């Protein structure tokens, strides 16, 4: 039997030759998954022996990664916002930059709840996660609010037009104990008629320009193309949602929409054109890049 260090050495070289951007990290994650431990144990015990069964599982995973399949799909889960989410081809893999959207949403909801106490038995604060995919944003927000004792004061709805993605979202909600607190509905962005407007609307919609998709890392080719394709300028789907905001948001409602790091100026121009009298402020992510557009009516 070979040691962890020996197995990793060959694997890293194979992944580097295959063009993987993070060959060491990928190899360590896949080996730890094959063994049934965490990455820390792999790093801390380089001379440990790798059993035959683990070696065979690792070889299979390594071959899949060499072919370009994302690590998250091979392992079947992805860490996000301190949680582990089931991940497969039914939905886009959650990205670290989207954590900023959840962070801003949680802070905004808590401020809103603190600013105006809601009477017992009164209507909850309504939140919509549009284009929820695997439910990452909606579930992360629900878990975060539960930690703060605020989940009972809100109603969270996740929408998506793909029933397969919604099935994954429901699995993730149940897995994190919020299956009864987050409701998922099939809709193209929003239901045709929004009977009761939302106070907070969140969305990580497709924002990659169509002609840029083929230039993405090969791992993206395993993900649903519809979850990436934002049209010719990357903002076509977002523009459709902006057109619905006057009916979808309460008078003092706020929309938080993830955008590409190079789309701040275009997004502000789009809001000016489609929503006269509204304001758009762009929040930065932890890397200092434009990431979240905060949109609301002028006070």
User: What digits encode the pLDDT tens for the residues 50-62?
Assistant: 999 999 999 999 9
First to last CA, the chain: 68
Does residue 83 fall inside a structural domain? no
For residue 20, the enclosing domain spans 4-67
93: its two tokens: 């893999």
- Verify that 202 and 252 share a domain, yes or no: yes
In a domain, 245, yes or no: yes
| pLDDT for residue 1 | 85
This prediction has a pTM of 0.95
Answer yes or no: is pLDDT of 246 > 90.
yes
**94 and 51 in a common domain:** no
223 domain-assigned:
yes
Residue 145 lies in a domain: yes
Q: Are residues 274 and 208 in the same domain?
A: yes
For residue 42, being part of any structural domain is answered with: yes
Q: Cα(230)–Cα(239) distance, rounded to whole angstroms?
A: 10
**How many domains does the chain contain in total?**
2
CATH code, 155? 3.40.50.150
Q: Is 130 found in the same domain as 266?
A: yes
Residues 22-36 pLDDT 10s: 999 999 999 999 999
Helix (H, G, I), strand (E, B) or coil at 220: helix
Same domain, 26 and 119: no
Dig out the tokens for 185 from the structure.
Answer: 């509905």
* 43 and 178 together in one domain: no
Same-domain check for residues 111 and 219: yes
3-state percent helix, strand, coil for the chain, nearest multiple of 5: 45, 20, 35
Residues 131-146 have pLDDT tens digits of: 999 999 999 999 999 9
Q: Which residues contact 214 (CB under 8 A, 6 or more apart)?
A: none
DSSP string, 164-207: HHHHHHHHHHHHTT-TTTEEEEE-SSS-SS-SS-EEEEEE----
Residue 135 lies in a domain: yes
Is 246 in the same domain as 192?
Answer: yes
Classify 270 as helix, strand or coil: helix
Q: Is residue 138 part of a domain?
A: yes
Residue 165 lies in a domain: yes
179 and 291 assigned to the same domain: yes
């Amino acid at each position: 039997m070979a040691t962890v260090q020996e197995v990793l050495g060959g694997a890293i070289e194979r992944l580097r030759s295959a063009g993987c951007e993070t060959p060491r990290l990928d190899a360590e994650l896949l080996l730890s998954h094959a063994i049934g431990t965490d990455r820390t144990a792999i790093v801390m015990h380089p001379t440990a022996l790798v059993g035959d069964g683990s070696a065979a599982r690792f070889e299979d995973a390594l071959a899949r990664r060499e072919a370009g399949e994302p690590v998250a799909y091979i392992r079947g889960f992805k860490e996000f916002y301190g949680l582990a989410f089931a991940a497969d081809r039914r939905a886009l893999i959650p990205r670290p930059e989207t954590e900023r959207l959840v962070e801003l949403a949680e802070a905004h909801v808590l401020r809103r709840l603190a600013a105006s106490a809601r009477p017992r038995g009164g209507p909850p604060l309504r939140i919509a996660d549009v284009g929820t995919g695997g439910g990452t944003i909606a579930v992360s927000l629900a878990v975060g609010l539960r930690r703060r004792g605020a989940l009972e004061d809100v109603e969270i709805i996740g929408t998506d037009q793909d029933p397969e993605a919604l099935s994954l979202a429901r699995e993730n909600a149940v897995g994190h104990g919020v299956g009864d607190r987050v409701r998922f509905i099939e809709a193209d962005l929003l239901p045709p008629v929004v009977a009761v407007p939302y106070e907070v609307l969140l969305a990580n919609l497709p924002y990659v320009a169509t002609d840029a998709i083929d230039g993405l890392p090969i791992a993206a080719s395993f993900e649903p193309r519809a979850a990436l394709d934002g049209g010719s300028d990357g903002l076509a789907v977002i523009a459709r949602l902006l057109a619905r905001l006057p009916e979808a948001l309460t008078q003092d409602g706020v929309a938080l929409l993830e955008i590409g790091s190079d789309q701040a100026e275009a997004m502000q121009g789009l809001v000016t054109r489609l929503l006269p009298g509204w304001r758009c402020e762009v929040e930065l992510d932890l890397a200092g890049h434009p990431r979240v557009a905060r949109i609301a009516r002028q006070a």
